Structure 1
Amino acid sequence: MTIEADKLHGTFVDPNRGKITFAAWCEEYLDSSNKRATTLARDRSVTDRHLLPALGRRPLNAISKRDVQQVVNRMKRNLAPATVRTNYGVLRAILSAAVTADRIGRSPCQGVSLPTQERPKIRFLTADDLVRLADATPVECRPMIYLAGVLSLRWSEVVGLRVGRVNFLRETLEVAETTAEVRGVLIERADVKSRASKRTLAIPPFLVALLSEHLARRGLTAETPDALVFIAPEGGPVRAGNFRRRMWAPTVHAAGLDGLTFHGLRHTAVGLMIALDTHFEAIKQRMGHGSIRVTSDVYGSLLPAVDASVTQALEALFRPEAARSRVHGAFTEGDD
């Protein structure tokens, strides 16, 4: 009766289609994915490390909510809540695709309990802090500090920047590709994070000069548009781990900024823009966020400071008018 009802309502799923193992379905799903290379590499890594050992041999239609919860609970023992949620997102996408492909009738991910993720406190630098950090940075890396701390470029966008993307005449920089690293594997000319991440930014003249001097030291010109602006000492793309160990950690310590991450420079860029009363829509565009909600959710904590500055500006604007109203009231009160 149930099968007939499902057929009548168009919700029937052939049980035989769900007999494919989770491992086989993962391979089919990942092979047909049109995700960007870095996301696909991450998904494969998560699948291999955390999902296949627990679910690989199970038929898709035999995986229950309890099985999914056990996978999550196992990851919770050794991984941060944010990582658990990211990895769970991969599993949920795989099983949701199985529903779409009529392999299973419904996803066993519904109602799974996830660890609470507290939003980390964002650290911002002042303009003076940023200059002090840049001054402490080796000259060959100094423009990187300002590309992140002023233009708000992501790490992958900085190390993936190529000479041809910098227009010195127009004083603009095009963010069009990245150099990404997933589980130790470098992916050059990887896609940017999203459609909104592909953007053209105006460069302040001081940074134009820094970049020009940097390229001159490296012997790079407009004739070498495909060359990376920044390379490792031994040549090739800059790797995050080597950069942190060789340059970043000693530099932030020397500048008295221990604990600062490179991504903190991107936060700093937002803080500086907000301090300059930049509209959130403009900040969103420079950050490469797809939605202003993302910008607001991450950086909304800075809005009270903006609100205070707006209040002060309104007071300065209308104080003369308020004074005139009080004087006028004093002369007219009781004139009847």
Structure 2
Amino acid sequence: MAVDDRWYLSKKDADGRRVPSARHGRGKRWRVRYLDDAGVPRERMFERKPDAELFDANVRADVSRGQYIDNRAGKVTVAEYGTQWRANQIHADTTVVKVELAFRLHIEPRLGHMSMAAVRTSHIQAWLKDRAEVLAATTLQVVFSYVRSMFATAVLDRIIGTSPCAGVSPPAIERRDYYIPTPGQVHALAEAIDGRYSAAVYVAAGCGLRLGEVLGLEVGNIDFLRREIHVRHQLKVVKGRKPYLGPLKTKNSYRSVELPDELGLALAAHIKAEHPKAFEVDDLTNPRKPLRREANIMFPSVSGDGLIQLGASWSRLWTPARKAAGLPERWGMHGLRHYYATLLIHAGASVKTVQMALGHSNPTITLNTYVGEWPEALDRTRALVSKALWNADAAARSVVGRA
């Protein structure tokens, strides 16, 4: 690495004066030549010698510490780097679709034309404010997580020095008040839906399974002897391909759920009435070992020879039943999962018990989702502390007084 004077040659004339070069008086005078962290020769021009010397010292230190950032690398646009970033992510098929949509609809139209190095915190804040007007807070948090992750990777790749997302937070999610149906509404829903799916309603309400977990349930996943349902995979639907069985949401989603006696009878009656037939499905539960196998699905398509197609096919079954049961518009089957959770909570179940039954990845998710559903538990906590501390203290004082 060196700082060169481009206006003068290194040799001197007979009088000891420096010899002007052919570039004398044209262009930037000072040049810094250096090797980047990959050993590639680089150079940069400066008007002033102090600026060149400062850059030379800094780039030497950055290369030696492994913190060198190539200023040309940051010129790649957000759209270009975003394409590269998405291609390198290990995402489930359904997540790939969501990420692609987020970039195409919300990220690239407003940030895609900018170079990665040009994006500032103020740009991210302005983008968040703009998107907050069209997206729900929960959706915006997910979309922002993609942007934040992309810039964090760019920092690790040494495309940019710091992330513009640092210190920026999307709008807070307001606590949602979930509509919890009455037991009568759950029964009405089971009666109103196509009889082939009545038991599916009870699986969601009585065991807290997600929609995909219910519709991917196999006869062999039900252990009538131990009175358990083993959740091992779920129905997955991705645009452009047939429905298939895929991995669960998180590792904690793989679980065994206690099977109430009444639900066991309902499932036994369903099997006796419907005689679920085995048919071939794609099983990608283990993405490294995809296979085509026979599956005995409890709640197949209406024709009974394939997995049901979520979306329009399921809506045609669900919407009339929801209306008949008097449940709110846009209230989905996930509401039965909330019914199950609140039922456990109000019966005195602990946070850990509810977390494991629902398959949440950690107790924080359970608490954040159902924090308002534990009022009686909080009252019991207050009573326990009062009894143990202040009543005990009063008893001790009375003993001292008698002494």
Q: TM-score, normalised by structure 1?
A: 0.82
Per the alignment, residue 290 of structure 1 pairs with 361
Per the alignment, residue 82 of structure 2 pairs with 26
Per the alignment, residue 325 of structure 2 pairs with 255
Any conservation in 1 of the 2:352–2:363 contact (CA below 8 Å)? yes
Per the alignment, residue 16 of structure 1 pairs with 72
SS at match of 1:248: helix
Any conservation in 2 of the 1:163–1:221 contact (CA below 8 Å)? no
- 2-side partners of 1:313 and 1:63: how far apart? 54
Match of 2:263 among 203, 207, 226: 207
Any conservation in 1 of the 2:278–2:297 contact (CA below 8 Å)? no
The residue type paired with residue 263 of structure 1 is H
Task: Give the Å deviation of 1:84.
Answer: 1.6
- 1-side partners of 2:264 and 2:357: how far apart? 17
Match of 2:179 among 112, 119, 123: 123
- 1-side partners of 2:191 and 2:237: how far apart? 28
Per the alignment, residue 311 of structure 2 pairs with 241
Question: Which stretch of the first structure deviates more once superposed, 137-146 or 164-173?
Answer: 164-173
Any conservation in 2 of the 1:147–1:158 contact (CA below 8 Å)? yes
Higher fraction of strand: 2
The residue type paired with residue 250 of structure 1 is P
Any conservation in 1 of the 2:196–2:274 contact (CA below 8 Å)? no
Match of 2:342 among 255, 271, 295: 271
Structure 1 stretches of 5 or more lacking a match? 319-324
Trace 1:1-336 onto structure 2 (pairs within 5 A): 1=54, 2-7=58-63, 10-112=66-168, 114-181=170-237, 188-220=244-276, 226-234=295-303, 236-242=306-312, 245-259=315-329, 260-308=331-379
- 1-side partners of 2:170 and 2:92: how far apart? 26
Q: Deviations over 1:94-132 (max 9, x none)?
A: 111111222221111123352342121122234344333
Q: Deviations over 1:144-192 (max 9, x none)?
A: 2111111111112112223332233333222122223467976522221
Structure 2 stretches of 5 or more lacking a match? 1-53, 281-293, 389-394
SS at match of 1:189: strand
Higher fraction of helix: 1
SS at match of 2:125: helix
Q: Deviations over 1:223-282 (max 9, x none)?
A: 986133223325643344336642333223222333443211111101111222222211
Aligned length: 325
SS at match of 1:273: helix
Q: 1:186–1:58: structure 2 CA closer, same or farther, 3 Å change rule?
A: farther
- Give me the identity figure in percent: 26
- 2-side partners of 1:258 and 1:115: how far apart? 27
SS at match of 1:25: helix
- 2-side partners of 1:24 and 1:61: how far apart? 13
- 2-side partners of 1:166 and 1:46: how far apart? 38
Q: Which has the higher contact order (CA 8 A, sep 6+)?
A: 1
Per the alignment, residue 322 of structure 1 pairs with none
The residue type paired with residue 225 of structure 2 is L
The residue type paired with residue 228 of structure 1 is I
The residue type paired with residue 274 of structure 1 is I
- 2-side partners of 1:309 and 1:182: how far apart? 47
SS at match of 1:174: strand
Q: For the aligned residues, what is the CA RMSD?
A: 3.4
Any conservation in 2 of the 1:37–1:190 contact (CA below 8 Å)? no
The residue type paired with residue 209 of structure 1 is L
The residue type paired with residue 264 of structure 1 is G
Q: 1:125–1:308: structure 2 CA closer, same or farther, 3 Å change rule?
A: farther
Q: 1:313–1:21: structure 2 CA closer, same or farther, 3 Å change rule?
A: closer
The residue type paired with residue 231 of structure 1 is P
The residue type paired with residue 288 of structure 1 is G
The residue type paired with residue 346 of structure 2 is A
